[in-house]
Each structure stands twice: as C-alpha cells, then as structure tokens.
Amino acid sequence: MKNKRALILKYLFFDLLSATFTWWFFFRYRKKFLEPRKFGYDIEVLYDDNFYLGLLIIPMAWIILYALSGHYARIFRKHRLRELGQTLVACLFGSLIIFFVLILDDQIATYRDYYMAFLILFFLQFGTTFFFRFLLTSNTVKKVHRGVIGFNTIIIGGGQAAAGIVSEINELKKSPGYHFKGFMTYNGEDVVMEGSGLKSLGEFKKISEVVQREQIEEVIVAVESTDHRALGDIISHLEEHPVSIKILPDMYDILSGSVKMTSIFGAPLIEVNREIMPAWQRSLKRIMDIGISMLCLVVLAPLYIGLMIAVKLSSPGPTFFRQERLGHLGRPFEIIKFRTMFTDAEKEGPQLSSENDTRITPLGKWMRKTRLDEFPQFYNVLKGDMSLVGPRPERQFFIDQIMKVAPHYRHLHKVRPGITSWGQVKYGYAENVDQMVQRLKYDVIYIENMSLAVDFKILGYTVLTVLKGAGK
C-alpha cells in the first residue's frame, strides 16, 4: 500500500510538472508569436496576474480531469499501449476545453493562428505528459515482469486444467505478476493439484475467509468454461470481493473471440470485466450524487422540518427510522428514513409491508405513495453509503431468503444501493420474497446497462411518481 501511494504521488508530480511547463511555454508562444502577428510589433513577455492565475488553476484542472478519467486507478496494472490511448484522449478533451474557454477570444491575425495555437497546446501537453508516464509505466511493468511487484493470487480448481495453467505461468520468461498463495477446490478435485507445489486452501465455500486472510487481489478460475453453472456460482460469490477475476478458456472460447490478448508473454486468460461504467461516468455519477443531495438538503429544508413535525404529531415515537442494510460489496450501513410505521411494528420479527398494512400510520401511507419517507437518504448519499440511483438495499434477513431461490442477488452488491431504482420505479415496494425476486431482474438489467443517461431517465420517472403520489 505504501509503494502504491508513492507511485501515485510520482504520477501526480510529473503530471503537474508537465501541465505547468505546457502553460508556461504556451503563454510565451502567445506573447512572442501570436500577438506580434496581429499587431505588427514585438510584445514584451510580462508574467501578469492572468499568467499566475492560470499557473495555479490549469495544472490542478488537468489533475482533476485525469483523476475523473481513472488515470490513477489500478496503478500497478498499467500497460504502455493503454497509457498511450488514455493520455491521448484525456489531453485532446482537456485541450479542447482550454481552447474554447481561454483561447477562442484571443486577438489573432488569421484563423490559421487558432489552429496552430490548439495544435501546439495539445501536442505539448500530450508529449510532456506521456513522456513521463511512459517512463513510470515502463519501470512498473519491468518490476512486474521481474516479480518485484506482484498480486496475491489463488487458483479455483484442483484438476488437470488448474495444474496446467500453474505450470504454464511458472514457465513464462517474464512474470505476469501472480504471487500464488494456494488453490481452492470447487468440486473436490485436488488429486492433480497436490503435486503442483501450491498449498491447498480448502473448499471454495470458504472463499470469503481466504480472500480476507490472504489479502487476495487476483483469482484464476480453472474449471471448465463450458460448465456455466459452476462459473456462474464462482463469479457470483466473488462479486462481493474487490478482486480481479480471470477464467481459463477452452478452444471454443479462443475460436469464438472471447480471449483478448493483453500481453505478448502472458498466459491466455479471459478477464472478467468488472468495470460497469467508464471511469469518467462513475466520477460524474458520484459528483451528481453529491451535488443533487446537497442541493436537496438545503432547498428542501422547510419540507424536512414540516415532515419532522408531522411525523412527531402523527404517532408516538422517533421522527426518523434507522435500520441496518447491506450496501456496496455487502458492507453494512445504517439507512435513515422518515418513520412511517408505529413503533412496535416488528415486535414479532422482520416483516415486509403490504398495501393494507395496519402497522403503517395514516401519514405514513401518504409519505410512502409520494416517496417522501425516502428523502432523509440524501444524507446516506453524501456519506457515500448510497447513490441517487441504484438497487434498493435490503436487510440480511431477507437477503438470506432471496439467495435460496436467486443466488445472483449478489450481483446487486457490485454497485452502491440507491434512493430510487428501475425496480422501484417499475415494481414499487415488494410485499413478499417472491415479489422481491421479481423486482430483482429489473435491478440486474439496470446494472448491466448502467449509464448516466439511464440514471437521468430513472430520476425523471421518480420525480413524476413523487409529484403524482403514484408510488406502490
């Protein structure tokens, strides 16, 4: 972790240095070449307030853009070709913004000067940034190949396929970075793997314990890729853990184009893509969560006060209802809502509400129809426990029941739970486990199609539900 922070700081330092140099050089270029072409005489280069203001803001703006684009994530898993593409796109986008905001109103001799100004800004920013990044990334890649940097890895599978991939990886001239901690069996096949030199870590059902104890970062699944049930079960269980998953392919996977080459010297493995949204969309989604939540908490403050008084007067008990739910990666958090039930609502144990539930107060029924009881969850969003849009979080008690008939429920823990969701908009509150399972398919479809455009649509339908009071 310490080495990771140090490497990120190096990237940040050289990115700042590149952006600072580019702004200084470009400022001089405008004064020495562009302005004299316009006015017909030499212009003295004076470092005025605009220069120093730009020197303060521009480099930091580049760092924010790079961070939002995911440049500082997975810092040890960078590749030079991917670095080239990411840097090219980010510098092109950032240069366009600077051009339209700061350069377009410059006084120029001809429009050709605009094109030259943009090209110089872009190529200088890209060239200096990529030069330092190439050096840092190359150094990291070499350390991975030498085995200096590695990722704690386990093999799932104990048969011939598992033994074969371990042997193939160990014989590679350049290390792909796997530091094998052992293997786990899925169907009890451990006879072949016993001779591989790897330690047996037990049955797959203990995966959560092993991932935490061994600090696992990579999991290689070496069961038959045609055994969809086994693969589905393994990937489903691993959803709750922040690990990189790779699957050993068979010849059909290779011929069908499922195996994408990421390294010339690496073993052929299918990497499970866990990036549900592009990094820049994830960042904008979180910015949108924070901005809208803060706005709602401030603007709707009078409504909050009115509802707090109304809830207090409607029945004895606290104003707010707090309850433990499971969120991103299965982490527990305390959700907060306006209380809509009488205080002894669950004296006989956890129960789901129904349309004619006598436990719900008269005010609570109205608040549930308009979804006003969910409004305090903007605070959960600010804390980072929730998002504006995402699958509704559930209690462990009901999750255990759902998992018996729908093990893929774990898929929902890949993202932050939300105040509203497609399942909530389409189906409303579930009255029993069967309805929760039916609603589940909408949330799974949402996760597989997550985008900012989809979020805006769901938020739009939610606002209509609130205004019409048409919630189920």
Residue 76 burial (CB count, 10 A): 16
- Say yes or no: 284 and 427 in one domain: yes
Q: Could you tell me which of 41, 16, 296 has the C-alpha nearest to residue 133?
A: 16
At 333, the amino acid letter reads F
- Can you give the pLDDT at residue 235? 80
Query: Which residue, 299, 271, 242, is CA-closest to 413?
Result: 242
**pLDDT score of 194 more than 70:** no
pLDDT at 471 over 80: no
Kindly give, in sequence order, each residue whose CB lies less than 8 Å from that of residue 152, ignoring residues fewer than 6 positions away: 179, 181, 214, 215, 216, 217, 218
Looking at the structure, do residues 219 and 360 belong to the same domain, yes or no? no
Pick the last residue of a domain from 248, 271, 294: 271
Lowest mean pLDDT among 78-82, 158-162, 305-309, 312-316: 158-162
The pLDDT of residue 255 is 44
pLDDT tens digits, residue range 20-50? 999 999 888 877 877 767 666 666 777 888 8
Domain identity same for 434 and 310? yes
Nearest of 172, 241, 170, 167 to residue 208 by alpha carbon: 241
What DSSP line would sit under 324-348, residue for residue? EEE-GGG-EEEEEEE--B-TTTTTT
Query: Do both 453 and 333 map to the same domain?
Result: yes
Tokens of 192: 């072949």
Residue 144: closest CA among 270, 1, 263: 263
The pLDDT of residue 250 is 64
- Do 345 and 412 sit in the same domain of this protein? yes
Confidence of residue 100 (pLDDT cuts 50, 70, 90): confident
* 162 and 90 co-located in one domain: no
pLDDT at 167: 84
Question: Over 50: is that where the pLDDT of 324 sits?
Answer: yes
pLDDT band for position 264 (cuts 50, 70, 90): very low
Task: Calculate the average pLDDT of the chain.
Answer: 84
Domain end, chosen from 226, 249, 271, is at 271
Q: Are 70 and 64 in contact (CB under 8 A)?
A: no
Mean of pLDDT values over 376-398: 93
How many domains does the chain divide into?
3
| Rounded-to-integer distance, Cα 277 and Cα 189, Å | 37
Residue percentage of the chain with pLDDT more than 90: 35
CA distance linking residue 92 with residue 89, whole number of Å:
5
Q: Which backbone phi and psi does 297 adopt, to 5 degrees?
A: -65, -30
CATH code where residue 178 lies: 3.40.50.720
Residues 297 and 155 placed together within one structural domain of the fold: no
Residue 359 has pLDDT above 50, yes or no: yes
Q: Is the confidence at residue 187, as pLDDT, over 80? A: no
50 and 164 fall within a common domain: no
Pairing of strands 418-420, 270-271: unpaired
Least confident of 228-232, 295-299, 323-327: 228-232
List the domain range (segments joined by +) for residue 263.
151-271
Same domain? For 91 and 125 the reply is: yes
Residues 370 and 393 both lie in one domain:
yes
Beta strands in 114-262 (DSSP E): 151-156, 178-185, 200-203, 218-221, 244-247
Q: Is pLDDT larger for residue 419 or for residue 106?
A: 419
Residue 224, pLDDT score? 65
Average pLDDT over residues 273-279: 75
Provide mean pLDDT across the span 193-220: 85
Residue after which a domain boundary falls, among 223, 251, 271: 271
- DSSP annotation of 182 reads E
* Residue 290 shares a structural domain with residue 174: no
pLDDT tens digits, one per residue of 421-454: 888 887 777 778 888 888 888 888 888 888 888 8
The H or E element that residue 123 is part of is helix 111-146
% of residues, the chain, pLDDT over 70: 89
Same domain, 322 and 435: yes
Q: Which amino acid is at 347?
A: K
